[in-house]
Structures are given as C-alpha cells and as structure tokens.
Amino acid sequence: MKTVRTLFRVIVGIVFIFSGFVKGIDPLGTVYRMQDYFIAFGTTWANDLALPLTIFLCVLEFILGVSLLFNLWIRKSVWAMLPMMTFFTILTFFDAFYNLVPDCGCFGDAIMMTNTETFIKNIVLMAMVIPIFLWRKKFKSTLKPAVDLVVLIAVTILFTGLSFYCLWHLPIIDFREWKKGAQVNERGDSSVHFYVTYKNRYSGETEEFLAPNYPWNDSTWLADWIFVSQRVEDPNQDEMTLMIEDTLGNDLAQSYLDIPDYHFFVVAYSLDDANLDALIRLQPLYLAANDAGYSFIGLTTTVPEKIAAFQTETGVGFAFYNSDDAVLKSMIRSNPGLILLKDGVVIKKWHYNDFPEWEEVREKYIDN
C-alpha cells in the first residue's frame, strides 16, 4: 500500500503542478476562459474578479502539487485539495453534458481537451485524490512541519511573482499558434465549396446545390426557380483564422500575411479597454517604420466610427482594420500588443509595457 500511496501522490502532484504552471504563466488567457464561465452562468458582474481569482486558483493548484509531489505538509493541504477537485469535477460534469463553454482550459493552451475528456480526466484524478485524503495521516515529511510551511510560502511568493511578470509582460512560454517563429500564413490545399440556394416560384420549396452542379443552363428550370442565397465552405479556415476586414467587408488577411518584407501588427482587441497611452507611444515607431517602407497596421474589434474618433483625439496615424476578438486575444496577451512579422513568420512580440523604439527594432531584427 505504501507504493500505491506514493504513486497516487506523485501522479496527482505532477498533474497539479503542470496544470497550475501552464495556466499561471498565461494569466490573461485563463482570465478569458473564466469570463466565458461567467457569461455561461449569467454572472458577468463578476468579470472584474476574474484576474484575482485566476491568480489565486493557479497559485493554489501549483502549491498543492508541490505539497503532494515533495510530501510537504500534506495532512493540511489535502483539506484544500479535495474541495477544489470536487468543485471542478462537478463543473466539468455540466460542461461535458451541456457544453457551457467551448474549452475549459484546464491545461491552458498547452494541451487542448474536449469537455468530455476533461471530465473523464477529473474522474480519474478524483479516484486518486479521495484515497490520498483518507490516507492523509500516513504521509510523513522528512522535514519539520514549520519548515514545510516555510518552503510552501516561499514557493507561493515566487510563483505568484512569476504569474504577475507574465501578466505585465508576456507568457514566458507561448503555446499558441502565433508564438515566435511560427509560420502563420500557411493555408491548406483543400477545395473551397460554393453552395447556392434556389426557391421555387410556385411551391415555395427551396433547394441547395453545390456550384456549379445545378441546372443553370436549363432555361425552363430557371423560369420556375429564384436565386435566394449563396454560402461558402472553406475547410482551410476555422474559427481561429485571422481575418483583416476593411470598411467594405473585404478580407485582406492573406495579402498582409504574405508580405515578404518586415511588417507590424498592432493588436488592440478593444480600443475601449486598451492602454491608450501605449498606443500613442507607438506613433514615433509607426512613423519611422512607415518612412522606411514597412507596413504598419492596427487590428481591433472596435467599430469604424469609434476608430475614427480615437484617431482624431489621439493623433494615432496608422490604419485600423477589424477582426474577431477571440483571434486577437489569442495572437498576443496584451491590449494593445505589437507583433513583427516577415514573410508570414512571427519574428517578435511585445507587451505594451515593453514597446520598443525604432532603433532597437532596426538594430536587433531588421538589420540583423
């Protein structure tokens, strides 16, 4: 039984450490997922609590993992571990059956799991957590209880500091598609399908056809049917595909992503919530990059009228285009953030606390 107790303790400890770490170094991403839950439960009034709750839960999960893995103060820590696991097991049960949120993010962006897979994972963990709780008095640290506590407090302080560092700058490890060095302009070679819907003038019946496989050259048929709508199925795109739309609704994404030279994206998913001082600080960089012949545009979800008002008020000169907020939040954990690309490859990303001067960009990246 000692071997089983040790095995359970180590497995659960490693899972807790990994889960707390990958979420704790990306606190803003975890905040977004927590806000998804608030929306699902109709408690959006709690959105302002998402950040402190995120930091608290990630740090707690990490510390509980350290306690288990290194056999520190387990008799006390399991009293927090069991209620925590019980709550999240119940929550993921409802996720699995009612699909409350598309992704619970239990392992951040490091490991993507469906809601059903997450629930099963939690059931397996509970099968080990409950025995660990029942065996709590059998775990004995080689250190004194006071030393165990000091070690856990020290780890708590260090990991909390790391989480805030990643919040005020960028995650030290980027698990998302737009990480440094990623090729973001690649498209699949699957065929794009165009579907057209026609309605019968007399019966009101509608029928959808895969273009051009419909009787378009049959004048008798066309006399009885009226064109209704068209839709496009592009298997090369998904819900996280970047779109760069101008005021006319044209998607310019591929033309910008395929620019062979260096170019800049300023990502501000919401100008209402963005650090406006940081956007204003980008103006000299924009002017220098523009003078050097490099593309420099902003991406946001803010409507064109508000963009124009913002530019008039602040004097920010670079053009803004619209995109999806989920994609923009995934591209960089900063509002605003700056991304440098070349030939579709992410060269560098900056949090607004770290926006560079033109000379730094030129010397480190462009002239290098």
Checking DSSP bridges between strand 206-210 and strand 337-342, what pairing results, if any?
unpaired
- C-alpha separations of 108 from 145, 175, 311 in Å: 33, 9, 35
User: For residue 336, is the peptide bond before it cis, meaning its omega torsion is within 30 degrees of 0?
Assistant: yes
Q: Give the Å distances, CA to CA, from 271 to 145, 244, 327.
A: 50, 16, 16
Q: How far apart are the first and last CA of the chain?
A: 60
Enter the tokens of residue 86: 């019980």
CATH number of 253-366: 3.40.30.10
pLDDT at position 236: 56
Residue 204 has a pLDDT of 86
> Largest Cα–Cα distance of the chain, in whole Å?
92
Long-range contacts of 86-89 (CB under 8 A, 24+ apart): 86/126, 88/122, 89/119, 89/122, 89/123, 89/125, 89/126
How many CB atoms neighbour CB 209 within 10 A? 14
Chunked into runs of 10 residues, the chain (368 residues) has average pLDDT values of 94 97 96 91 92 96 97 94 96 89 86 92 97 94 91 97 98 95 78 76 86 75 80 62 88 92 96 94 96 96 92 93 93 97 96 96 90
The helix/strand/coil state of 264 is strand
CB atoms within 10 A of CB 29: 22
Structural domain spans, the chain: 2-168, 193-232, 253-366
Rounded CA-CA distance 321/323 in Å is 7
Measured CA to CA, the distance from residue 123 to residue 137 in angstroms comes to 23
Cβ neighbours, 10 Å, residue 154? 10
The phi, psi pair for 206, rounded to 5°, reads -115, 150
Residue 212: is the preceding peptide bond cis (ω within 30°)?
Answer: yes
Entry pTM? 0.84
Rounded Cα distance between 136 and 61, Å, is 18
For residue 274, what is the DSSP state? S
The two structure tokens encoding residue 322: 């619209």
In whole angstroms, what is the distance from residue 58 CA to residue 18 CA? 10
CB atoms under 10 Å from CB of 136, counted, come to: 16
CA distance 340 to 366: 10
Which amino acid makes up residue 117? E
CA distance 128 to 311: 57
Using CA atoms of 27, 32, 34, 35 in order, give the dihedral in degrees to the nearest 10: 140
Task: Give me the pLDDT at residue 100, please.
Answer: 83
pLDDT at 209: 83
